[in-house]
Amino acid sequence: MRFVPLIGKEGWESEDSEWQTKPPRVVQSRPAVSLSLPGLIAKRAEEFTKLEDADLEPLLDRIGDARVVLIGEASHGTSEFYRLRARITQRLIESKNFEIVAAEA
C-alpha cells in the first residue's frame, strides 16, 4: 500500500516512479456480494411491529453465545427504540447472563 501524495503545486516529485505506472494490487479478503450494505442490513434485520409483545426469541437465538451484541437504530431519539432496547437489554441480562451494557448516546 502506498500513500498518495498531493497533486499540483503542493505536491512533490517522487524518485520512485514505479507507483505511477503500475496499478495497485487489490487483495479481496471476503467474497464479493451482490447486495448493497443497506440491502444486507435489510436482509438480516429483525422486524418488530409491536413493542410490548414483540417475540424476542428469534433474535436471542441468533445472538447465541455471543459475548458482545451491538444494538443500533436509525431514528435517533424515538421512544419506541428506547423501549425495545430496554426489553432486549433486560433479556440479554436475564437469559444470556450479560453483566455489562454500554450505550452510545
User: What is the spatial distance between Cα 43 and Cα 46, in angstroms, rounded to a whole number?
Assistant: 9
Give domain status of residue 66, yes or no. Answer: yes
Nearest to residue 60, comparing CAs of 32, 79, 88, 38?
88
- Is the residue at 4 inside a domain? no
The mean of the pLDDT values for the chain is 77
CA angle 55, 57, 62 (to 5 degrees): 130
Q: How many domains are contained in the chain? A: 1
Q: Is the pTM of this model over 0.85?
A: no
Summarize pLDDT for 37-88 with one digit per residue, the tens.
888 888 888 888 888 889 999 999 999 999 999 887 777 778 888 899 999 9
Q: Is residue 13 part of a domain?
A: no
